[in-house]
Amino acid sequence: MKRSGKIGIGLGIVVVVGAGIYAATAGQSNSKASAHTVALVTDGGGVDDHSFNQSAWEGLKAYGKSADLKQGKNGYNYFQSNTASDIKTNFQTAVKGGYKLIYGVGFAASPALKEVAKNNPKTNFAIIDDVVKQKNVASLTFHSEQSSYLAGVAAAKTTKSNTVGFVGGIHGDVIDTFDAGFAAGAKSVNPDIKILNQYTNSFTDAAQGKTIAATMISKGADVIFQAAGGAGNGVFAEAKADNQKLDSSSDKKVWVIGVDRDQYTDGQYKDKNGKSANFTLVSAVKRVDSAVEDIAKKSADNKFPGNKVITYGLKEKGVGLVKNSASNETWEAVQKAQQKIEDGKITVPVHP
Amino acid sequence: MSLMSILTLVISSTLVYSAPLIFTSIGGTFSERGGVVNVGLEGIMGIGAFAAVVFNLTFADQFGALTPWLGLLAGAIIGLLFSLLHAVATVTLRADHIISGTVINLMAPALGVFLIKVIYGKGQTEPISRDFGYTSLPLLKDIPVIGDLFFAKTSGPAWLAIIIAVLSWYLIFKTKFGLRLRSVGENPQAADTLGLNVARLRYAGVMLSGILGGIGGAVVAQSISLNYSAGTIVGQGFVAMAAMIFGRWNPLGAMAASLFFGLSQSLAVVGAQLPVIQNIPSIYLQIAPYVLTIVVLVFFFGKTRAPKADGVNYIKAT
């Protein structure tokens, strides 16, 4: 008797709790029927990583503002993954939270996204910078070769030694687009230009980046484009160390081209006379934010491009070049090249 | 490129790469000579890098060109405080040295990024405005040939590191303190019987490693990465440990090993841009540093021997 009493109480609790959960979830889905809620699952970094995650989050905020949503459960939100193993859990939490559209950032997120998307066919997903072929997943990729082409044009127009350099991170399809685009752009201005090319084989080893830059500079390169993540910091460090010993208007000044985001502040320095100057020539930026906003809007209008790969180029403003310290003459050449790419007169190669 | 400019390039990039390793590996030597294994060097470097960058960003306007040097001091002080955690855990509380060191390594980047977020409201700092850059040493740079190669365009911290290495060698092998430190690392019982304070000497060893490890991190941050993020110190602390072992727990050996790592790294990069070597597939150049290390270890070194009581907690009989 005593025992069955306990079981009875236990059952009672289960029923009450179960009903509560049911009521809560049911209520949730009702109230959300109107708003098109969106969520972002970050990869290794946070939403202030100066890179993809931050840019994606800015796009989400911009969408939230335009759709009159608030940050939080019934509007737009982010889930931070501190390690790779958090990513899947975060996707599942986001699905349970009832978000209509969930973004994953970078190739690190795609295996988890693939699996969660398969198990939750009613929720829409978008993957940034990778391709996942599934009905409820849209893949957003970027024509980085186009912005790199423009960077190449700017480099070739600026160099005084007729030698430019490219420092890549790790060989692969993504960095190939930067490599190939830059070379094609530089050669379009001057077919005889010398392009030095070397990889750090790491996205974090700044010391490698610094040594490579030092080697290129001593071989005469005076404009260097780096697409090597954190290793690219070393390229900036080397150029800064050299430029500090020169007059800011010296012919030997070394320029660095920023990548993914506007790297103007990385090029700030004081020349040998103590004058403030800058050596970031241009930055080849990836506008993850505008791509994210674009897909959120499409999805809200019931035009979600499931199972499609959408590539953002110069025309869609998914990639672009920021002027920074480039001369007006250089910038004119860049704009002309941009027009040609947008008109489809130039097709930029994606592999070197 | 002329031979002269190739040599200059190889030497200056070797020194830039080696400087933080020299400081940190000597730090490790002090700690292990005293009998405390310090796998936390990586974490200590990280916190030193953090302290130097915060100091640099805050005080660059006040101290001008002197800022990065004072940044080393900031790195040293914070590194010292951080290493005290390791000393308290291992010497006073008799914890396992590897576990305590691992905790230091796990804690440092998380703490650094957390504090950066609290202070600046973002995940990584802006670039610092005053860095080490290249130094040319007065007088020495006027020596023909050698001056151009070693002193005209060089790394200031690297030369400081080399001086510290010589001083540390003297301290460990030629002074009373050094003898005592080594004796608690070899046979703490005997040292205790002779009236030495084992705990105090071990504390001193760990604290010296904190100071030098912090300086090592500060050098990385202020001459190579120029900002602080979770990715500023990734693996340099472990390379420094390897240099310490390679250098047989001797400051001069640790320095030579660090320079060797720097040289092979620099040759791998510079070689790819040189005629003839250029034609060798780059994969061979990339593995060259590691192959060279193994070859040197196998052929030129006998058995290396760690201090006898290294990693062994000393429990005083009462």
pLDDT in tens, B117-141: 899 988 788 899 899 989 888 888 8
Residue with more model confidence, B302 or A236: A236
What does the block give as tokens for A33? 């029927």
Residues of A in contact with B16 (CB under 8 A): 207, 210-211
Residue with more model confidence, A273 or B292: A273
High-pLDDT (> 90) share of chain B, %: 68
Give the pLDDT score at B304: 74
Do residue B225 and residue A230 have CB atoms under 8 angstroms apart?
Answer: yes
Residues of B in contact with A219 (CB under 8 A): 1, 273
Residues of A in contact with B132 (CB under 8 A): 241
- Domain assignment of residue B309, yes or no: no
Its pTM stands at 0.85
Q: Dihedral sign, CA of A316, A185, A171, B293? A: negative
What is the average pLDDT across B193-199? 94
Residues of B in contact with A234 (CB under 8 A): 224-225
Ordered strands of the A76-79 beta sheet: A76-79, A38-41, A101-105, A124-128, A137-142, A309-312
| Residues pairing with A166 in the sheet | A197, A225
| Residues pairing with A320 in the sheet | A285
Residue A112 CA to residue A122 CA, distance in Å, equals: 17
- Domain assignment of residue B159, yes or no: yes
Q: Which burial class, exposed, middle or buried, applies to A85 when counting CB atoms under 10 A from its CB (0-12, 13-18, 19+)?
A: exposed
Give the pLDDT score at A45: 66
Amino acid letter, residue A167: V
Give the pLDDT score at A9: 64
Whether the per-residue pLDDT at B281 is higher than 90: the answer is: no
- Domain assignment of residue B315, yes or no: no
Do residue B9 and residue A218 have CB atoms under 8 angstroms apart?
Answer: yes
Residue B180 CA to residue B183 CA, distance in Å, equals: 5
What is the average pLDDT across B109-123? 89
Measured CA distances, A75 to A57, A64, A122, A288, A305 (Å) = 13, 7, 18, 20, 21
Spell out the domains of chain A, with CATH numbers in brackets.
38-143+289-314 (3.40.50.2300), 145-285+320-343 (3.40.50.2300)
Place of tokens 């230091």: B104
- Nearest of B208, B223, B200 to residue B53 by alpha carbon: B223
Do residue A196 and residue B132 have CB atoms under 8 angstroms apart?
Answer: no
The CATH number for B270's domain is 1.10.3470
User: Out of B6, B9, B224, whose CB is closest to A237?
Assistant: B224
Do residue A208 and residue B12 have CB atoms under 8 angstroms apart?
Answer: no
Residues of B in contact with A48 (CB under 8 A): 117, 121-123
Residue A289: how many CB atoms within 10 A of its CB? Answer: 20
Do residue B224 and residue A245 have CB atoms under 8 angstroms apart?
Answer: no
- Domain assignment of residue B276, yes or no: yes
Give the pLDDT score at B70: 97
Dihedrals phi, psi of A131, to nearest 5 degrees: -120, 125
What is the average pLDDT across B258-275? 85
Place of tokens 């996204």: A113
Do residue A219 and residue B266 have CB atoms under 8 angstroms apart?
Answer: no
Give the pLDDT score at A73: 84
**DSSP assignment string, A121-140:** TTSEEEEESS----TTEEEE
Best interface-test mutation with A: which of B13, B56, B111 has the largest number of A CBs within 10 A? B13
Residue A200 CA to residue A122 CA, distance in Å, equals: 43
Residue A45 CA to residue A203 CA, distance in Å, equals: 14
Dihedrals phi, psi of A125, to nearest 5 degrees: -130, 155
Domain that holds residue B234: 3-303
User: Out of B6, B123, B224, whose CB is closest to A49?
Assistant: B123
Question: Computed over its alpha carbons, how large is the radius of gyration of chain B?
Answer: 20
Do residue A216 and residue B132 have CB atoms under 8 angstroms apart?
Answer: no
Residue of chain A whose alpha carbon sits nearest to that of B262: A207
Kindly list the residues of chain B whose beta carbon comes within 8 Å of any beta carbon in chain A.
Answer: 1, 5-6, 8-9, 12-13, 16-17, 117, 121-124, 126-127, 129, 131-134, 220, 223-227, 229, 231-232, 234, 265-266, 269-270, 272-273, 282, 286
- Nearest of B72, B76, B65 to residue B129 by alpha carbon: B65
Do residue A233 and residue B122 have CB atoms under 8 angstroms apart?
Answer: no
- Domain assignment of residue B318, yes or no: no
What is the average pLDDT across B51-63? 95
Residues of A in contact with B226 (CB under 8 A): 233, 236-237, 240, 266
Total domains in chain B come to: 1
- CB–CB of A88/A112 below 8 Å? yes
What does the block give as tokens for A95? 């699905």
What does the block give as tokens for A114? 């693939």
Taking 70 as the pLDDT cut, the residues of chain A under it are: 1-34, 44-45, 50
* Helix (H) or strand (E) segment spanning residue B317: none
Residue of chain A whose alpha carbon sits nearest to that of B131: A241
- CB–CB of A47/A53 below 8 Å? yes
- CB–CB of A213/A167 below 8 Å? yes
**DSSP assignment string, B154-206:** B-HHHHHHHHHHHHHHHHHHHSHHHHHHHHHHH-HHHHHHTT--HHHHHHHHH
CA count, 13 A, side-chain hemisphere, B96: 4
Whether the per-residue pLDDT at B1 is higher than 80: the answer is: no
Size of interface A-B (CB pairs under 8 A): 95
What does the block give as tokens for A54? 């931050």
Residue A142 CA to residue A105 CA, distance in Å, equals: 13
Residue B97 CA to residue B73 CA, distance in Å, equals: 27
Best interface-test mutation with A: which of B2, B264, B269, B286 has the largest number of A CBs within 10 A? B269
- CB–CB of A210/A182 below 8 Å? no
- Domain assignment of residue B294, yes or no: yes
Do residue B131 and residue A240 have CB atoms under 8 angstroms apart?
Answer: yes
- CB–CB of B165/B251 below 8 Å? yes
Do residue B223 and residue A237 have CB atoms under 8 angstroms apart?
Answer: yes
Residue B187 CA to residue B314 CA, distance in Å, equals: 9
Average pLDDT, chain B: 91
